[in-house]
């Protein structure tokens, strides 16, 4: 009877989650729309520069590299004995990266569950890897955000601490710590991409490390909200809200839109390249 009651409650929790996620997504879109409505679009034109063009090349490459690091982190957990071919694992993760843009933001995990099972990986291990990956997302993103804020005051200390932590995690040769190291590298790539875009469009003197930390927090907000595909809408609204009035509206909006375009380009680049390598 207890199992029946638990089963009957589960759909209710899922329904509440969908409603909450839908409300958050709708609120985020409304917030962004209000900001766009108030924005003087002519103020965006000065931000179109060769510097931004260069950043729009470098940032997608950083996002693609971060995807590769996240794939390695997932592989370290789901295949610690290195039984599977690395290209097969990369292909499975790449397909999930592309699937996350479907409405619901859960198909990346469904895809990995299905594709991983086809290669002989146990469903239980695949499910466990999702829990571990999500937990490490929180730890890694917050750790890198804290490192960015430390970098703003003491860059040498922040960089040295990051190198020591990542190096020690790799040296331990434990699957969980290896996954943590790869995830820290991935979120470090996200932070550098945000700083690169920020350097191209934000005013001189802006703390790029602080902006990178805000982007990581916004990324986390988009990640935890269900329904939003790839965090679209929620991440942008969170970044605009976190930055507040501390940055010019036009520059902040340009950076926000450029980061979204760069992340999509990076995901597509990594996903399609990994799948193409499999075919050839």
According to the model, what pLDDT value does residue 23 have?
A: 79
Q: pLDDT digit string (tens) for 89-140?
A: 999 999 999 999 987 668 889 899 999 999 999 999 999 999 999 999 999 9
pTM equals: 0.91
pLDDT band at 278 (very low <50, low <70, confident <90, very high): low
> Which sequence spans correspond to the domains of the chain?
2-39+50-279
According to the model, what pLDDT value does residue 193 have?
A: 98
Percent of the chain with pLDDT over 70: 91
Q: pLDDT digit string (tens) for 26-62?
A: 888 887 888 878 887 777 777 888 999 999 999 999 9
Q: Which residues pair with 227 in a beta bridge?
A: 104
Where is average pLDDT lowest: 11-15, 183-187, 226-230? 11-15
Taking all residues of the chain, what is their mean pLDDT, rounded to a whole number? 89
Give the 3-state secondary structure of the chain: CHHHHHHHHHHHHHHHHHHHHHHHHHHHHHHHHHHHHHCCHHHHHHHCCHHHHHHHHHHHHHHHHHHHHHHHHHHHHHCCCCCCCHHHHHHHHHHHHHHCCCCECCHHHHHHHHHHHHCCCCHHHHHHHHHHHHHHHHHHHHHHHHHHHHHHHCHHHHHHHHHHHHHHHHHHCCHHHHHHHHHHHHHHHHHHHHHHHHHHHCCCCCCHHHHHHHHHHHHHHHHHCCECHHHCCHHHHHHHHHHCCCCCHHHHHHHHHHHHHHHHHHHHHHHHHHHHHHHC
According to the model, what pLDDT value does residue 225 have?
A: 84
């Amino acid at each position: 009877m207890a199992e029946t009651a638990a089963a009957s409650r589960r759909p209710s929790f899922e329904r509440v989650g969908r409603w909450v996620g839908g409300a958050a997504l709708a609120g985020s879109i409304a917030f962004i729309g209000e900001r766009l409505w108030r924005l003087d679009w002519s103020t965006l034109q000065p931000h179109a520069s060769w510097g931004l063009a260069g950043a729009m090349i470098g940032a997608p490459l950083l996002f693609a590299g971060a995807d590769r690091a996240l794939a390695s982190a997932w592989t370290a957990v789901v295949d610690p004995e290195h039984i599977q071919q690395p290209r097969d694992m990369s292909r499975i993760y790449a397909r999930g990266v592309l699937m996350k843009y479907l409405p619901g933001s859960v198909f990346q995990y469904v895809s990995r569950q299905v594709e991983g099972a086809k290669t002989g990986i146990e469903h239980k291990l695949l499910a466990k890897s999702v829990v571990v990956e999500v937990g490490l997302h929180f730890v890694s993103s917050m750790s890198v955000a804290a490192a960015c804020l430390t970098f703003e005051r003491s860059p040498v200390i922040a960089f040295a601490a990051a190198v020591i932590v990542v190096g020690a995690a790799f040296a331990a040769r434990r699957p969980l710590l290896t996954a943590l190291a790869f995830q820290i590298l991935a979120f470090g790539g996200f932070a550098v991409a945000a700083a690169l875009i920020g350097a191209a469009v934000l005013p001189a003197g802006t703390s790029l490390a602080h902006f990178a930390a805000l982007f990581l927090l916004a990324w986390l907000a988009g990640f935890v909200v269900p329904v939003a595909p790839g965090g679209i809408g929620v991440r942008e609204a969170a970044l605009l809200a976190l930055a507040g009035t501390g940055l010019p509206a036009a520059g902040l909006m340009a950076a926000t839109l450029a980061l979204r375009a760069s992340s999509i380009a990076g995901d597509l680049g990594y996903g399609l390249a990994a799948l193409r390598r499999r075919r050839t």
